[in-house]
Amino acid sequence: MPAIDNTYRTHYTNQIESGLLGQRATIAGWIEDLRDIGKVVFLTVRDVRGVAQAVVSGQSIEIIRDKQRQSAVIISGLVQDSKSKDFSLEIKADRVIILNDATHPLPIDPTGRVESALDKRIDSRALDLRSPKTASIFLLRSVLLENIRTTLRSNGFIEVNTPKIIGSASEGGANLFEFEYFKKPAYLAQSPQVYKEQLILALDRVFEIASYYRAEKSHTARHLSEFLSVDIEAAFTSMNEIINIAEQVLMNILSLNLSTSEGDMNGSKTLLIPKPRFPLKRLSYQQCVEDLKKQGENIEIGDDLSDASLRVLGEIHKGFFFIVDWPTKLKPFYIREKENDPRFSYSFDLQYGHLELISGGQRQHDPNRLKERLIEQNLNPDNFKHHLRVFSWGMPPHSGWGLGFDRLIMALTNLDNIREAVLYPRDVDRLTP
Ligand code: 4AD
Ligand code: MG
Protein backbone atom coordinates (compact mmCIF):
# COMPACT_ATOMS: atom_id res chain seq x y z
CA MET A 1 0.00 0.00 0.00
CA PRO A 2 1.61 3.33 -1.00
CA ALA A 3 2.10 5.90 1.74
CA ILE A 4 -0.31 8.84 1.82
CA ASP A 5 0.86 12.35 1.01
CA ASN A 6 -0.44 14.00 4.15
CA THR A 7 0.95 16.23 6.89
CA TYR A 8 -0.61 14.25 9.70
CA ARG A 9 -0.59 10.58 8.69
CA THR A 10 1.23 8.19 6.41
CA HIS A 11 -1.36 5.42 6.66
CA TYR A 12 -4.96 4.81 7.58
CA THR A 13 -5.34 2.18 10.30
CA ASN A 14 -6.59 -0.45 7.81
CA GLN A 15 -3.33 -0.02 5.87
CA ILE A 16 -1.22 -1.35 8.75
CA GLU A 17 -0.57 -4.65 6.97
CA SER A 18 2.18 -7.27 7.02
CA GLY A 19 4.01 -5.56 4.13
CA LEU A 20 4.82 -2.75 6.56
CA LEU A 21 6.57 -5.00 9.12
CA GLY A 22 9.69 -3.25 10.39
CA GLN A 23 8.81 0.01 8.63
CA ARG A 24 7.68 3.33 10.07
CA ALA A 25 4.04 4.36 10.00
CA THR A 26 2.10 7.34 11.33
CA ILE A 27 -1.60 7.02 12.00
CA ALA A 28 -4.04 9.74 13.06
CA GLY A 29 -7.41 9.21 14.70
CA TRP A 30 -9.15 8.97 18.05
CA ILE A 31 -8.28 6.93 21.12
CA GLU A 32 -10.79 4.12 21.37
CA ASP A 33 -9.25 2.24 24.29
CA LEU A 34 -6.35 2.71 26.63
CA ARG A 35 -4.94 -0.04 28.82
CA ASP A 36 -2.24 1.03 31.27
CA ILE A 37 -0.26 -1.91 32.61
CA GLY A 38 2.55 0.06 34.22
CA LYS A 39 5.61 0.08 31.96
CA VAL A 40 3.53 0.00 28.78
CA VAL A 41 0.25 1.45 27.67
CA PHE A 42 -1.77 -0.38 25.03
CA LEU A 43 -3.74 1.95 22.88
CA THR A 44 -6.29 1.41 20.15
CA VAL A 45 -6.76 4.21 17.64
CA ARG A 46 -9.77 4.42 15.35
CA ASP A 47 -10.13 6.34 12.11
CA VAL A 48 -12.89 6.20 9.52
CA ARG A 49 -11.43 3.07 7.93
CA GLY A 50 -10.75 0.89 10.95
CA VAL A 51 -8.80 0.48 14.13
CA ALA A 52 -5.13 -0.22 14.93
CA GLN A 53 -3.19 -1.00 18.07
CA ALA A 54 -0.18 0.92 19.37
CA VAL A 55 2.12 0.09 22.25
CA VAL A 56 3.54 3.04 24.09
CA SER A 57 6.53 2.78 26.41
CA GLY A 58 9.31 5.03 27.67
CA GLN A 59 8.86 8.80 27.86
CA SER A 60 5.73 8.88 25.68
CA ILE A 61 3.81 7.05 28.40
CA GLU A 62 3.46 10.26 30.40
CA ILE A 63 1.84 12.02 27.43
CA ILE A 64 -0.79 9.33 26.99
CA ARG A 65 -1.32 7.84 30.45
CA ASP A 66 -4.13 10.06 31.73
CA LYS A 67 -5.71 10.89 28.41
CA GLN A 68 -9.39 10.35 27.82
CA ARG A 69 -10.90 8.04 25.24
CA GLN A 70 -11.97 9.73 21.97
CA SER A 71 -9.19 12.36 22.16
CA ALA A 72 -7.55 13.12 18.78
CA VAL A 73 -4.05 11.62 18.47
CA ILE A 74 -1.15 11.04 16.12
CA ILE A 75 0.96 7.94 16.69
CA SER A 76 4.24 7.12 14.92
CA GLY A 77 6.56 4.18 15.21
CA LEU A 78 7.74 0.90 13.74
CA VAL A 79 5.22 -1.73 12.73
CA GLN A 80 5.78 -5.00 14.61
CA ASP A 81 4.04 -8.33 15.24
CA SER A 82 1.47 -8.23 18.01
CA LYS A 83 0.66 -10.83 20.64
CA SER A 84 -2.77 -9.36 21.21
CA LYS A 85 -5.75 -11.53 20.29
CA ASP A 86 -7.45 -8.77 18.28
CA PHE A 87 -4.47 -7.55 16.26
CA SER A 88 -1.75 -9.37 14.32
CA LEU A 89 0.30 -6.16 13.97
CA GLU A 90 0.80 -3.07 16.08
CA ILE A 91 2.78 0.17 16.08
CA LYS A 92 5.58 0.42 18.61
CA ALA A 93 5.05 4.09 19.27
CA ASP A 94 8.03 6.41 19.65
CA ARG A 95 6.08 9.59 18.97
CA VAL A 96 2.69 10.39 20.50
CA ILE A 97 0.88 13.69 19.95
CA ILE A 98 -2.41 14.59 21.56
CA LEU A 99 -4.05 17.08 19.19
CA ASN A 100 -7.19 17.77 21.18
CA ASP A 101 -8.69 16.20 24.28
CA ALA A 102 -12.15 14.74 24.42
CA THR A 103 -13.88 16.16 27.47
CA HIS A 104 -15.66 13.56 29.59
CA PRO A 105 -18.33 12.63 30.32
CA LEU A 106 -19.16 12.38 26.62
CA PRO A 107 -22.86 12.59 25.70
CA ILE A 108 -22.80 9.13 24.08
CA ASP A 109 -20.38 6.23 23.78
CA PRO A 110 -19.51 5.86 20.09
CA THR A 111 -18.01 2.42 20.66
CA GLY A 112 -21.55 1.21 21.29
CA ARG A 113 -20.60 -0.60 24.51
CA VAL A 114 -23.06 1.66 26.26
CA GLU A 115 -26.09 1.86 24.00
CA SER A 116 -27.86 5.19 23.52
CA ALA A 117 -31.36 5.93 22.22
CA LEU A 118 -31.51 7.19 18.62
CA ASP A 119 -32.58 10.68 19.73
CA LYS A 120 -29.51 11.03 21.94
CA ARG A 121 -27.28 9.74 19.13
CA ILE A 122 -28.70 12.28 16.67
CA ASP A 123 -28.22 15.06 19.25
CA SER A 124 -24.50 14.18 19.12
CA ARG A 125 -24.38 12.97 15.52
CA ALA A 126 -20.77 14.00 14.83
CA LEU A 127 -19.61 11.78 17.68
CA ASP A 128 -22.10 9.03 16.84
CA LEU A 129 -20.44 8.78 13.42
CA ARG A 130 -17.26 7.48 15.02
CA SER A 131 -19.18 4.25 15.44
CA PRO A 132 -18.30 2.14 12.37
CA LYS A 133 -21.86 0.87 12.19
CA THR A 134 -23.24 4.40 11.95
CA ALA A 135 -20.52 5.61 9.59
CA SER A 136 -21.11 2.67 7.25
CA ILE A 137 -24.67 3.87 6.55
CA PHE A 138 -23.33 7.18 5.28
CA LEU A 139 -20.49 5.64 3.32
CA LEU A 140 -23.10 3.42 1.71
CA ARG A 141 -25.18 6.47 0.80
CA SER A 142 -22.18 7.99 -0.95
CA VAL A 143 -21.39 4.81 -2.91
CA LEU A 144 -25.01 4.33 -3.96
CA LEU A 145 -25.46 7.93 -5.10
CA GLU A 146 -22.38 7.56 -7.28
CA ASN A 147 -23.73 4.30 -8.69
CA ILE A 148 -27.18 5.78 -9.40
CA ARG A 149 -25.58 8.73 -11.19
CA THR A 150 -23.57 6.30 -13.34
CA THR A 151 -26.65 4.26 -14.24
CA LEU A 152 -28.67 7.32 -15.17
CA ARG A 153 -25.84 8.96 -17.11
CA SER A 154 -25.30 5.77 -19.09
CA ASN A 155 -29.00 5.87 -19.99
CA GLY A 156 -28.65 9.36 -21.45
CA PHE A 157 -29.92 11.38 -18.47
CA ILE A 158 -28.49 14.85 -17.79
CA GLU A 159 -28.17 15.92 -14.16
CA VAL A 160 -29.95 19.21 -13.44
CA ASN A 161 -30.49 21.50 -10.46
CA THR A 162 -33.84 23.21 -10.05
CA PRO A 163 -34.87 25.85 -7.48
CA LYS A 164 -35.99 24.90 -4.01
CA ILE A 165 -37.52 28.33 -3.34
CA ILE A 166 -40.68 28.44 -5.41
CA GLY A 167 -43.72 30.65 -5.92
CA SER A 168 -46.45 27.98 -6.09
CA ALA A 169 -47.03 24.40 -5.03
CA SER A 170 -45.34 21.87 -7.31
CA GLU A 171 -47.39 18.86 -6.26
CA GLY A 172 -50.56 20.44 -4.84
CA GLY A 173 -51.68 19.31 -1.43
CA ALA A 174 -51.44 20.88 1.97
CA ASN A 175 -48.01 19.85 3.17
CA LEU A 176 -46.13 22.96 1.99
CA PHE A 177 -43.71 25.03 4.01
CA GLU A 178 -44.60 28.66 3.40
CA PHE A 179 -42.38 31.62 4.23
CA GLU A 180 -41.95 35.27 3.36
CA TYR A 181 -39.76 36.03 0.37
CA PHE A 182 -39.15 39.78 -0.09
CA LYS A 183 -42.68 40.48 1.19
CA LYS A 184 -44.25 37.86 -1.07
CA PRO A 185 -45.37 34.36 -0.07
CA ALA A 186 -42.99 31.60 -1.18
CA TYR A 187 -42.70 27.88 -0.57
CA LEU A 188 -40.04 25.23 -0.21
CA ALA A 189 -40.20 22.79 -3.13
CA GLN A 190 -42.07 19.53 -2.44
CA SER A 191 -40.47 17.96 -5.52
CA PRO A 192 -38.91 19.09 -8.83
CA GLN A 193 -42.01 17.81 -10.65
CA VAL A 194 -42.97 20.83 -12.76
CA TYR A 195 -39.36 21.76 -13.57
CA LYS A 196 -38.32 18.30 -14.67
CA GLU A 197 -41.38 18.08 -16.92
CA GLN A 198 -40.46 21.42 -18.48
CA LEU A 199 -36.81 20.49 -18.99
CA ILE A 200 -37.49 17.34 -21.03
CA LEU A 201 -38.96 19.67 -23.63
CA ALA A 202 -35.40 20.31 -24.78
CA LEU A 203 -33.01 18.13 -22.78
CA ASP A 204 -35.01 14.91 -23.41
CA ARG A 205 -33.89 13.07 -20.26
CA VAL A 206 -33.07 14.75 -16.94
CA PHE A 207 -32.48 13.73 -13.35
CA GLU A 208 -32.04 15.61 -10.13
CA ILE A 209 -30.77 14.45 -6.75
CA ALA A 210 -31.79 16.99 -4.12
CA SER A 211 -33.59 17.63 -0.85
CA TYR A 212 -37.32 18.27 -0.84
CA TYR A 213 -39.55 19.66 1.84
CA ARG A 214 -42.92 18.55 3.12
CA ALA A 215 -44.69 19.79 6.21
CA GLU A 216 -45.37 16.24 7.41
CA LYS A 217 -47.16 16.50 10.73
CA SER A 218 -47.19 12.74 11.24
CA HIS A 219 -44.71 11.05 13.55
CA THR A 220 -44.00 7.96 11.46
CA ALA A 221 -40.73 6.10 11.11
CA ARG A 222 -40.67 6.82 7.35
CA HIS A 223 -41.61 10.51 6.97
CA LEU A 224 -39.30 13.49 7.35
CA SER A 225 -39.85 17.17 6.64
CA GLU A 226 -36.68 17.19 4.52
CA PHE A 227 -35.72 14.15 2.46
CA LEU A 228 -33.42 13.32 -0.42
CA SER A 229 -35.07 12.34 -3.66
CA VAL A 230 -33.71 10.94 -6.90
CA ASP A 231 -36.05 12.27 -9.58
CA ILE A 232 -36.01 11.36 -13.25
CA GLU A 233 -38.06 12.48 -16.24
CA ALA A 234 -37.80 11.29 -19.84
CA ALA A 235 -39.40 12.55 -23.06
CA PHE A 236 -40.97 10.16 -25.56
CA THR A 237 -41.31 7.38 -23.00
CA SER A 238 -44.21 5.42 -21.58
CA MET A 239 -44.61 4.08 -18.05
CA ASN A 240 -43.10 0.66 -18.67
CA GLU A 241 -39.87 2.12 -20.01
CA ILE A 242 -39.25 4.19 -16.92
CA ILE A 243 -40.18 1.24 -14.69
CA ASN A 244 -37.41 -0.62 -16.53
CA ILE A 245 -35.00 2.20 -15.64
CA ALA A 246 -36.01 1.96 -11.97
CA GLU A 247 -35.26 -1.77 -12.11
CA GLN A 248 -31.89 -1.11 -13.70
CA VAL A 249 -31.00 1.39 -10.97
CA LEU A 250 -31.93 -1.16 -8.34
CA MET A 251 -30.20 -4.04 -10.10
CA ASN A 252 -26.93 -2.11 -10.42
CA ILE A 253 -27.02 -1.15 -6.75
CA LEU A 254 -27.65 -4.71 -5.66
CA SER A 255 -24.85 -5.98 -7.90
CA LEU A 256 -22.24 -3.77 -6.24
CA ASN A 257 -19.47 -5.72 -4.64
CA LEU A 258 -18.94 -3.43 -1.70
CA SER A 259 -16.31 -5.57 -0.02
CA THR A 260 -13.84 -5.19 -2.87
CA SER A 261 -14.87 -1.89 -4.44
CA GLU A 262 -14.49 0.17 -1.30
CA GLY A 263 -11.49 0.08 0.98
CA ASP A 264 -13.39 2.34 3.31
CA MET A 265 -16.72 0.56 3.54
CA ASN A 266 -16.14 -0.37 7.13
CA GLY A 267 -18.30 -3.45 7.25
CA SER A 268 -21.34 -2.13 5.42
CA LYS A 269 -20.89 -5.03 2.98
CA THR A 270 -22.87 -7.06 5.47
CA LEU A 271 -25.73 -4.58 5.37
CA LEU A 272 -27.13 -5.30 1.94
CA ILE A 273 -30.18 -7.50 1.63
CA PRO A 274 -30.29 -10.55 -0.68
CA LYS A 275 -30.66 -9.83 -4.38
CA PRO A 276 -34.26 -10.15 -5.63
CA ARG A 277 -35.14 -11.89 -8.86
CA PHE A 278 -35.53 -9.48 -11.80
CA PRO A 279 -37.84 -8.45 -13.41
CA LEU A 280 -39.72 -7.59 -10.22
CA LYS A 281 -43.42 -8.40 -9.84
CA ARG A 282 -45.71 -5.78 -11.38
CA LEU A 283 -49.07 -6.14 -9.59
CA SER A 284 -52.01 -4.07 -10.70
CA TYR A 285 -53.77 -1.94 -8.10
CA GLN A 286 -56.96 -3.94 -8.80
CA GLN A 287 -55.11 -7.22 -8.18
CA CYS A 288 -53.88 -5.80 -4.84
CA VAL A 289 -57.43 -4.88 -3.81
CA GLU A 290 -58.58 -8.43 -4.68
CA ASP A 291 -55.70 -9.88 -2.63
CA LEU A 292 -56.63 -7.66 0.31
CA LYS A 293 -60.31 -8.64 0.12
CA LYS A 294 -59.29 -12.30 0.23
CA GLN A 295 -57.41 -11.50 3.43
CA GLY A 296 -60.63 -10.10 4.89
CA GLU A 297 -59.72 -6.43 4.48
CA ASN A 298 -62.60 -3.98 4.16
CA ILE A 299 -61.58 -2.28 0.91
CA GLU A 300 -63.20 -1.38 -2.42
CA ILE A 301 -61.78 -0.48 -5.83
CA GLY A 302 -61.03 3.25 -5.69
CA ASP A 303 -59.93 3.30 -2.03
CA ASP A 304 -56.38 4.30 -1.24
CA LEU A 305 -54.13 1.59 0.15
CA SER A 306 -53.79 2.45 3.82
CA ASP A 307 -50.67 1.75 5.79
CA ALA A 308 -52.45 -1.27 7.31
CA SER A 309 -53.36 -2.57 3.82
CA LEU A 310 -49.79 -2.07 2.59
CA ARG A 311 -48.55 -4.05 5.57
CA VAL A 312 -50.84 -6.94 4.63
CA LEU A 313 -49.66 -6.73 1.00
CA GLY A 314 -46.06 -6.59 2.19
CA GLU A 315 -46.61 -9.87 4.03
CA ILE A 316 -48.02 -11.54 0.89
CA HIS A 317 -45.36 -10.11 -1.44
CA LYS A 318 -42.09 -9.92 0.44
CA GLY A 319 -39.31 -7.61 -0.74
CA PHE A 320 -39.54 -5.39 -3.82
CA PHE A 321 -42.63 -5.23 -6.04
CA PHE A 322 -44.44 -2.68 -8.19
CA ILE A 323 -48.08 -1.64 -7.85
CA VAL A 324 -49.21 -0.28 -11.23
CA ASP A 325 -52.32 1.37 -12.73
CA TRP A 326 -53.66 3.24 -9.70
CA PRO A 327 -57.07 4.96 -9.72
CA THR A 328 -56.63 8.36 -11.39
CA LYS A 329 -58.30 10.20 -8.54
CA LEU A 330 -55.70 8.93 -6.04
CA LYS A 331 -52.81 10.33 -8.07
CA PRO A 332 -51.61 13.92 -8.61
CA PHE A 333 -52.95 16.13 -11.40
CA TYR A 334 -49.99 15.49 -13.70
CA ILE A 335 -50.54 11.72 -13.99
CA ARG A 336 -52.07 10.54 -17.26
CA GLU A 337 -55.28 8.52 -17.23
CA LYS A 338 -55.67 5.42 -19.41
CA GLU A 339 -57.31 6.03 -22.77
CA ASN A 340 -59.45 2.89 -22.58
CA ASP A 341 -60.50 3.35 -18.93
CA PRO A 342 -59.88 6.83 -17.48
CA ARG A 343 -60.76 5.67 -13.97
CA PHE A 344 -57.24 4.23 -13.89
CA SER A 345 -53.92 5.84 -14.70
CA TYR A 346 -50.42 5.14 -15.98
CA SER A 347 -48.95 5.31 -12.49
CA PHE A 348 -46.86 3.06 -10.30
CA ASP A 349 -45.25 2.75 -6.91
CA LEU A 350 -42.25 0.61 -6.08
CA GLN A 351 -42.76 -1.05 -2.70
CA TYR A 352 -40.32 -2.75 -0.39
CA GLY A 353 -42.83 -4.68 1.66
CA HIS A 354 -45.10 -2.03 3.17
CA LEU A 355 -42.59 0.75 2.48
CA GLU A 356 -43.18 2.96 -0.59
CA LEU A 357 -39.84 3.74 -2.23
CA ILE A 358 -40.81 5.25 -5.61
CA SER A 359 -43.85 6.95 -7.14
CA GLY A 360 -44.00 7.65 -10.84
CA GLY A 361 -45.85 7.29 -14.08
CA GLN A 362 -46.65 8.68 -17.47
CA ARG A 363 -47.64 12.35 -17.44
CA GLN A 364 -50.60 14.17 -18.89
CA HIS A 365 -49.09 16.01 -21.87
CA ASP A 366 -52.37 17.41 -23.23
CA PRO A 367 -52.54 20.99 -21.84
CA ASN A 368 -56.35 21.21 -21.91
CA ARG A 369 -56.78 17.98 -20.01
CA LEU A 370 -54.04 19.03 -17.58
CA LYS A 371 -55.93 22.24 -16.81
CA GLU A 372 -59.12 20.24 -16.20
CA ARG A 373 -57.24 17.92 -13.88
CA LEU A 374 -55.95 20.87 -11.84
CA ILE A 375 -59.51 22.11 -11.38
CA GLU A 376 -60.75 18.60 -10.49
CA GLN A 377 -58.14 18.56 -7.74
CA ASN A 378 -59.19 22.00 -6.45
CA LEU A 379 -55.96 23.62 -7.63
CA ASN A 380 -55.99 27.02 -9.29
CA PRO A 381 -54.66 26.85 -12.90
CA ASP A 382 -53.57 30.49 -12.51
CA ASN A 383 -50.95 29.36 -10.02
CA PHE A 384 -49.58 27.03 -12.69
CA LYS A 385 -49.57 29.45 -15.62
CA HIS A 386 -45.77 29.40 -15.97
CA HIS A 387 -45.95 25.65 -16.14
CA LEU A 388 -48.98 25.35 -18.42
CA ARG A 389 -47.56 27.69 -21.07
CA VAL A 390 -44.64 25.35 -21.87
CA PHE A 391 -47.15 22.68 -22.88
CA SER A 392 -47.91 24.73 -26.00
CA TRP A 393 -44.28 24.59 -27.11
CA GLY A 394 -44.46 21.04 -28.45
CA MET A 395 -44.69 19.00 -25.27
CA PRO A 396 -43.96 15.33 -26.04
CA PRO A 397 -45.40 12.36 -24.13
CA HIS A 398 -43.17 11.83 -21.11
CA SER A 399 -42.79 9.80 -17.94
CA GLY A 400 -40.77 9.90 -14.77
CA TRP A 401 -40.42 8.94 -11.13
CA GLY A 402 -39.17 10.05 -7.75
CA LEU A 403 -37.22 7.73 -5.50
CA GLY A 404 -37.08 8.44 -1.76
CA PHE A 405 -33.36 7.84 -1.27
CA ASP A 406 -33.46 7.82 2.55
CA ARG A 407 -36.16 5.17 2.41
CA LEU A 408 -34.10 3.11 -0.03
CA ILE A 409 -31.23 3.17 2.46
CA MET A 410 -33.68 2.11 5.19
CA ALA A 411 -34.81 -0.84 3.10
CA LEU A 412 -31.31 -1.95 2.06
CA THR A 413 -29.89 -1.78 5.57
CA ASN A 414 -32.95 -3.09 7.43
CA LEU A 415 -33.35 0.07 9.49
CA ASP A 416 -36.65 0.57 11.30
CA ASN A 417 -36.46 4.34 11.38
CA ILE A 418 -35.65 6.70 8.49
CA ARG A 419 -33.90 9.01 10.99
CA GLU A 420 -31.06 6.47 11.26
CA ALA A 421 -30.41 6.84 7.53
CA VAL A 422 -30.19 10.66 7.57
CA LEU A 423 -27.34 12.65 9.10
CA TYR A 424 -29.39 15.46 10.60
CA PRO A 425 -33.08 14.55 10.27
CA ARG A 426 -35.79 17.19 10.26
CA ASP A 427 -39.25 16.40 11.60
CA VAL A 428 -42.05 18.06 13.60
CA ASP A 429 -40.00 17.83 16.77
CA ARG A 430 -36.48 18.30 15.48
CA LEU A 431 -34.76 21.32 13.98
CA THR A 432 -31.32 20.81 15.57
CA PRO A 433 -28.46 20.00 15.43
O1 4AD B 1 -44.58 9.74 -3.83
P2 4AD B 1 -44.02 11.11 -3.94
O3 4AD B 1 -44.76 12.19 -3.22
O4 4AD B 1 -43.93 11.42 -5.49
C5 4AD B 1 -43.46 12.60 -6.04
O6 4AD B 1 -42.91 13.47 -5.43
C7 4AD B 1 -43.58 12.64 -7.52
N8 4AD B 1 -43.28 14.00 -8.02
C9 4AD B 1 -42.64 11.65 -8.14
C10 4AD B 1 -42.85 11.49 -9.59
O11 4AD B 1 -41.94 11.68 -10.36
N12 4AD B 1 -44.03 11.13 -10.00
O13 4AD B 1 -42.51 11.13 -3.44
C14 4AD B 1 -41.56 10.28 -4.07
C15 4AD B 1 -40.90 9.40 -3.03
C16 4AD B 1 -41.87 8.52 -2.23
O17 4AD B 1 -42.15 7.33 -2.91
C18 4AD B 1 -41.07 8.29 -0.97
O19 4AD B 1 -40.12 7.24 -1.14
C20 4AD B 1 -40.31 9.59 -0.79
O21 4AD B 1 -40.29 10.22 -2.05
N22 4AD B 1 -40.98 10.48 0.17
C23 4AD B 1 -40.54 10.73 1.41
N24 4AD B 1 -39.45 10.28 2.08
C25 4AD B 1 -39.27 10.71 3.34
N26 4AD B 1 -40.08 11.59 3.97
C27 4AD B 1 -41.18 12.08 3.34
N28 4AD B 1 -41.95 12.96 3.94
C29 4AD B 1 -41.44 11.65 2.01
N30 4AD B 1 -42.40 11.93 1.09
C31 4AD B 1 -42.10 11.21 -0.01
MG1 MG C 1 -46.09 8.44 -3.59
**What would the pLDDT profile of 202-248 be if each residue is shown by its tens digit?**
999 999 999 999 998 989 999 999 999 999 999 999 999 999 999 99
Question: What integer best gives the mean pLDDT of the chain?
Answer: 94
Question: Is residue 361 within 8 Å of residue 154, measured between CB atoms?
Answer: no
CA distance 374 to 343: 16
Q: Is pLDDT above 50 for 261?
A: no
How many residues can be counted in the chain?
433
Question: Is residue 240 within 8 Å of residue 279, measured between CB atoms?
Answer: no
- CA-proximal residue: ligand 1, atom 18 (nearest): 404
pLDDT of residue 262: 44
In this structure, are 279 and 411 located in the same domain?
yes
Q: Ligand 1 pocket test: which of 229, 330, 347, 349 has the largest number of ligand atoms within 8 Å of its C-beta? A: 229
In this structure, are 80 and 223 located in the same domain?
no
| CATH code at position 88 | 2.40.50.140
| CATH code at position 239 | 3.30.930.10
In this structure, are 27 and 148 located in the same domain?
no
Q: Is pLDDT above 70 for 164?
A: yes
Q: Report, as an integer, the average pLDDT of 93-122.
A: 96
Higher pLDDT, residue 72 or 257: 72
Q: Is pLDDT above 80 for 68?
A: yes
Domain with 220, as residue range(s), is 125-164+196-421
> Is any atom of ligand 1 closer than 6 Å to the C-beta of 191?
yes
> Is any atom of ligand 1 closer than 6 Å to the C-beta of 406?
yes
**Count of domains for the chain:** 2
Share of the chain above pLDDT 90, in %: 90
pLDDT of residue 275: 86
Q: Report, as an integer, the average pLDDT of 30-41.
A: 96
In this structure, are 148 and 18 located in the same domain?
no
> Is any atom of ligand 1 closer than 6 Å to the C-beta of 264?
no
pLDDT of residue 272: 65
In this structure, are 72 and 216 located in the same domain?
no
pTM, full prediction: 0.95
- Assigned domain for 105 exists: no
- CA-proximal residue: ligand 1, atom 30 (nearest): 223
- Assigned domain for 120 exists: no
Please state whether the peptide bond connecting residue 433 to the residue before it is cis, i.e. omega within 30 degrees of 0.
Answer: yes
CA distance 31 to 53: 10
> Is any atom of ligand 1 closer than 6 Å to the C-beta of 399?
no
